[in-house]
Amino acid sequence: MPSSAEAATGHQRYDGSVFEAIGTVWRIGAGAHTDARLGDPLDAQTLAAVLARIEQFDHDWSRFRDDGFVGRVAREPGIHQLPADAPPLFSLYRELHAATAGRLSPLVGRSLEQLGYDAEYRLRPAGEPVAAPQWDDAIAVRASSTGLTLETVAPVVLDVGAAGKGYLVDLVGEVLVANGVTDSVVDAGGDARVRGERSTRVALEHPADASKAVGLVELRDAAIAASAPNRRAWGDGLHHIIDALSGHPVAERAVATWVIAPTAMLADGIATAMFLADPEELGARFEVEWAMMGRDGSWRSSAQWPGELFAKGERT
């Protein structure tokens, strides 16, 4: 579906396939373009396959739906068959859980609900923050002949918000490859992956002003993701990045983080984990480059960060 801007002007920025799904704008372009255009739109069959893949992921993993896997686990304890795409996601969550000493966890759904970030978007805290259950107490993931199973002894509200969207960007890219589209950019509201021979310029959006950029990188066969608590905040100190150990939103040690990684899932997960652990340690442990902007506009980044970070202070 073309944006209204495209419909009105035919402006080249809005080429490719642009649509909205799971609460964000998806922009997908095909072909090894070298300019700033998104690229060729997807053919109808490929686009339908992409939309179906997104719908399936949302059905399986959304905390806001009760008809899928997450909804089932939130209702009843027992042995649940994990969705077929679960292994990489759970594997990363396990690593992030270890790397953050338990502070990043997929079990924070209940904590988020308590703070008001629930299916109804109440956005009013229901009471004091509640810590997430301990991973090993609450869930056991086992391999079976039919894939992974998740065993719970009590209802658990899973939340894969830290890496789920990035993972879906990767999965959509796989759908493109399966349909013969090997050169592509898939952008889901600013979390993006570039595949194939194309090289794509990415602006780092100013955390407080979407009309400005604070940095610039060029991606080739890589992914980028950002995390900014203030962009999903619903009250003073209330936002979606939760310390699983306390159930509190994390203190905002930065206004925004960006991560470049081989996959969008990893980039997404680390961009969140940077609020919960030392970025230097994460950078040593995972194959990522990272940058974070402090509240005063200052930068910290990994030594090999491949792009430009615009310095503060020289701005008049």
Partner 1 sequence: MTTTAPARTAAVAAIGVGLLGTIAGCAAGDASADVGTVDESYADGTYTADGSYQSPNGTESISVTLTIADDVVTAVEIETRPTNPTTSQFQSLFAEGIADEVVGVDIDQLDVTVVSGSSLTSGGFREAVATIKADALVG
Please give the residue ranges that form the binding site for partner 1 (CB under 8 A): 3-5, 8-9, 11, 13-14, 20, 23-25, 27, 29, 36-38, 64, 121-123, 185, 187, 189-192, 200-213, 216, 219, 224-226, 228, 230-235, 256, 258, 308, 310-316
Alpha carbons 33 and 22: distance in angstroms, whole number: 27
Alpha carbons 172 and 18: distance in angstroms, whole number: 14
Q: How far is the CB of 55 from partner 1 (least distance, A)?
A: 14
The nearer residue to partner 1, 145 or 313, going by C-beta atoms, is 313
The nearer residue to partner 1, 82 or 266, going by C-beta atoms, is 266
Alpha carbons 178 and 147: distance in angstroms, whole number: 22
The nearer residue to partner 1, 171 or 185, going by C-beta atoms, is 185
The nearer residue to partner 1, 258 or 286, going by C-beta atoms, is 258
The nearer residue to partner 1, 135 or 305, going by C-beta atoms, is 305
What backbone torsions phi and psi does residue 214 show, to the nearest 5 degrees?
-115, 0
The nearer residue to partner 1, 132 or 293, going by C-beta atoms, is 293
Q: How far is the CB of 101 from partner 1 (least distance, A)?
A: 27
From 72, 44, 70, select the one nearest 58 (Cα to Cα).
70
The nearer residue to partner 1, 23 or 77, going by C-beta atoms, is 23
Q: Tokens 């796989």 — which residue?
A: 174
Q: How far is the CB of 263 from partner 1 (least distance, A)?
A: 15
Q: How far is the CB of 10 from partner 1 (least distance, A)?
A: 9
From 218, 226, 190, 207, select the one nearest 312 (Cα to Cα).
207
Q: How far is the CB of 226 from partner 1 (least distance, A)?
A: 4
Q: How far is the CB of 249 from partner 1 (least distance, A)?
A: 14
Q: How many CB atoms lie within 10 A of CB 8?
A: 10
Strand partners, 142: 149
Q: How far is the CB of 140 from partner 1 (least distance, A)?
A: 32
Alpha carbons 201 and 47: distance in angstroms, whole number: 24
Alpha carbons 250 and 105: distance in angstroms, whole number: 13
Token readout for 89 is 């996601």
Alpha carbons 233 and 240: distance in angstroms, whole number: 7
Contacts of residue 197, defined as CB under 8 A and 6 or more positions apart, other chains included, come to 32, 183
